[in-house]
């Protein structure tokens, strides 16, 4: 009973998160200006992190948590570096 509830809800959540990731990829490829592309990348990594958390719950292992944490850390650094590049034209002054 509880295994069925969990597997179905995790499956539905993974499909929703994958749809969200495809929306973000569309905005990243299409986005009229550079800041739209950076925003699409930001949304993409947040959705990927949530997808990894649900994959970890479906597998029952805590290994995926570390991958999600690394995605969160590196995604933040990447978005800040890209925004800084848009602001100044160089990342490190």
Partner 1 sequence: MSAAAELPVWVAILTAALVLLGAALALVGSIGLLRLRGFYDRVHAPTLGATLGAGSIALASMIYFSALETRPVLHEALILIFVAVTTPVTLMILVRAALFRDRAENDDPLLRPGEGVARLDADARDPRETRG
Which residues of this protein are in contact with partner 1, per CB under 8 A? Answer: 1-3, 5-10, 12-14, 16-17, 19-21, 23-24, 26-27, 33-36, 38-40, 42-43, 46-47, 49-50, 53-54, 56-58, 60, 62, 65, 68-69, 72-73, 76, 79-80, 83-84, 86-87
User: What is d(CA 44, CA 27) in angstroms, rounded to the nearest whole number?
Assistant: 10
Q: To the nearest whole angstrom, how small is the minimum distance from the Cβ of residue 61 to partner 1? A: 9
Q: To the nearest whole angstrom, how small is the minimum distance from the Cβ of residue 34 to partner 1? A: 8
Max intra-chain CA distance, the chain? 58
Judge whether 58 and 10 are in contact, CB under 8 Å: yes
User: What is d(CA 45, CA 32) in angstroms, rounded to the nearest whole number?
Assistant: 20
């Amino acid at each position: 009973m509880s295994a069925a509830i969990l597997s179905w809800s995790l499956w539905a959540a993974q499909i929703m998160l994958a749809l969200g990731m495809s929306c973000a990829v569309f905005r990243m490829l299409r986005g009229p200006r550079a800041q739209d592309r950076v925003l699409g990348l930001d949304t993409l990594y947040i959705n990927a992190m949530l997808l990894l958390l649900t994959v970890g719950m479906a597998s029952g292992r805590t290994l995926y948590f570390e991958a999600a944490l690394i995605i969160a850390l590196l995604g933040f650094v990447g978005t800040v570096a890209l925004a800084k590049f848009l602001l100044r034209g160089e990342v490190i002054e």
